[in-house]
Amino acid sequence: MKTKIAAVILLALTFTAGIYLGKQGQPAPVLTDSEQGASYQGGYDKAQDEGLGGSPTTAAKLPGKVLQVKPGQMIQDAVKRAAPGDTIQVMPGDYSETVYIDKDDIRLIGVIQNGRRATLDGKGTLNDAILYSGNNFVVENFKIVGYKGNAIMGQAGNNFEIRNNVIKDTGVYGIFPQLGKNGIVEHNVVSGIEDAAIYIGMSDNVHVAHNDVFDSVAGIEIENSRHAIVENNNVHNNTGGILAFITPGLPIKTTFDVIIRNNFVVGNNHPNFGAPGSTVSGIPAGTGVLIMAADDVVIEDNIISDNKTAGVLITDHDNAANVTFDPGVEPNPDRVALLNNVMLNNGYDTITEVKALMLSELKTVEPDIVAVGGGTGSCIINRHRYQTVGIGGYSNCDFTNTDEVKSYLLDTPVPPRQISADERGEITYLSVCSGCHSYTGRLVGPPIQSIQALYMDDPEGLAAYIGDPVKKRPDFPEMPSQAYLGEETLLAVAKYALGRTD
């Protein structure tokens, strides 16, 4: 029966794929009434932001040069020659290197011919495929395989577009824009990732759409980020499908204004193979949508099926596994809205903790929705359609859709980030280090507190280690070299990390 349901849903995905196209670029949302009911306004006001409205992420530029890279040549050599506004075309073939783009207004485009792509292959030895810190950056059409760390990682680059890439077995993260603003992640196929296939970290105004994400620990993850829409994605056979949460110990302490809609979240029952002790290693296999401590999250018009623990799991930090205390974080999920979702065959083999919660309510159901812990202001419509646990305090929502919220992208690209010498250490820490290190808890690497204990009076020693690390701890993965940052930046980030207090 489960197989038949999943097959019907995947067939429906193929049939309805065209219905959801082209929902970006509309005016800011307004609360309205219609025959379908009231529409969600949300807490976000674009007029108070750095831009106004919602469509392109990259600024219109004068035509630049086109630099072509062929097999046998290095992509990084073309990056070195490129000037702002240039396009780098990479011809089909195999390339094994790390590409670092620290210039603004660069387009890195793989050329597809007869189905063949430009393939970046880390051969199981290289850590990262593409690292970008420039603004107005576009990367598309690549195949990326066999890296140990990241396929595509953004390091404080604004106005980014990551699209139409095929990514498989690239270690910790697949697509990972961090500390960026105003970005699109769309039409990518990502699989086999040890942490998050698509990981939006400490970012704002991001649109994640039309991606196929599977065989990973976390499918799509909105972490310590705001103003994000996740829509029209196919998320299947991960440990957890779509996540919106706050990780304690990071410099940015909030996640809010997240809309999760029109996605297929099917059969996310993959065994958890995340790094032991990491935040994602605590995700129960069989979790469709996970909301942890995030606020103002709307879950709407998704098909959520065949997830054995629960279709939707909503929790605070106190009831979550592998989460540390952070005094700067409000640990409860507030104002979560559950709208018209189709939920089928969820919770059929749920975990012991959920069974205990059911017993406290004298229920023996296969739960579509589970809520545990604190939080206020949450709501649901059509609650009679679902089997639920823990939502007795949820009110009836006073809106039924988010149709007026087309996008949180900005009409005007965010101005290029200007980094002074005094800010170099902080920005590098936020955009590079905090993806793997929180202050108190374990992410991928050890917490900053333990690093401070080793190097507090020796920033030069820490800088040297970051540039040329060796494996010291058997319970943590090997740290990749960050030598590309340069000696001045390495020392600046070492001093900043050793001076942190939260």
According to the model, what pLDDT value does residue 72 have?
A: 97
Boundary-marking domain end, from 357, 379, 396: 396
**Do 389 and 430 fall within a single domain?**
no
Residue 310 lies in a domain: yes
Question: How far lies 426's CA from each of 45, 249, 489, in Å?
Answer: 28, 15, 10
Q: pTM for the complete prediction?
A: 0.86
- CATH code, domain with 443: 1.10.760.10
According to the model, what pLDDT value does residue 62 have?
A: 56
Cα 92 to chain centroid, rounded: 28
Give me the domain span that covers residue 462. Answer: 421-499
According to the model, what pLDDT value does residue 142 have?
A: 98
Residue 135 lies in a domain: no
**Do 245 and 384 fall within a single domain?**
yes
Confidence of residue 43 (pLDDT cuts 50, 70, 90): low
**Do 370 and 480 fall within a single domain?**
no
According to the model, what pLDDT value does residue 9 have?
A: 37
Per cent of the chain over pLDDT 90 is 65
**Do 252 and 374 fall within a single domain?**
yes
pLDDT at 52 over 60: no
Cα 306 to chain centroid, rounded: 23
Q: Cα(345)–Cα(366) distance, rounded to whole angstroms?
A: 8
Question: Mean pLDDT over residues 151-170, rounded?
Answer: 96
Phi/psi at 380 (nearest 5 deg)? -150, 150
Q: Cα(187)–Cα(174) distance, rounded to whole angstroms?
A: 14
**Do 366 and 267 fall within a single domain?**
yes
**Do 338 and 448 fall within a single domain?**
no
Closest CA to 214 of 278, 157, 269, 151: 269
Residue 112 lies in a domain: no
pLDDT, one tens digit per residue, over 87-111 is: 999 999 999 999 999 999 999 999 9
Number of domain units in the chain:
2
Confidence of residue 415 (pLDDT cuts 50, 70, 90): confident
- Mean pLDDT over each residue of the chain, to the nearest integer: 87
**Do 384 and 433 fall within a single domain?**
no
**Do 378 and 314 fall within a single domain?**
yes
Query: Is-contact 134 158, C-beta < 8 A?
Result: no
Per cent of the chain over pLDDT 70 is 88
Tokens of 81: 């020659």
According to the model, what pLDDT value does residue 74 have?
A: 98
**Do 324 and 372 fall within a single domain?**
yes
| DSSP calls for 388-413 | EES-TT-EE-S--B-TT------SSP
Q: Is the dihedral of CA 274, 276, 278, 281 positive or negative?
A: positive
**Do 392 and 280 fall within a single domain?**
yes
pLDDT, one tens digit per residue, over 272-309 is: 998 887 888 899 999 999 999 999 999 999 999 999 99
pLDDT, one tens digit per residue, over 55-64 is: 457 765 557 9
Residue 435 lies in a domain: yes
pLDDT, one tens digit per residue, over 3-30 is: 434 443 343 443 333 333 333 333 333 3
**Do 390 and 471 fall within a single domain?**
no
**Do 431 and 351 fall within a single domain?**
no
Amino acid code (one letter) for 87: T
Q: Cα(51)–Cα(397) distance, rounded to whole angstroms?
A: 30
Residue 288 lies in a domain: yes
Residue 219 lies in a domain: no
Residue 414 lies in a domain: no
Tell me the three state secondary structure of residue 254. coil
Residue 412 lies in a domain: no
- The DSSP letter of residue 449 is H
Closest CA to 189 of 206, 173, 210, 218: 210
pLDDT, one tens digit per residue, over 335-351 is: 999 999 999 999 999 99
pLDDT, one tens digit per residue, over 436-478 is: 888 877 777 888 888 888 888 888 888 888 888 887 787 777 7
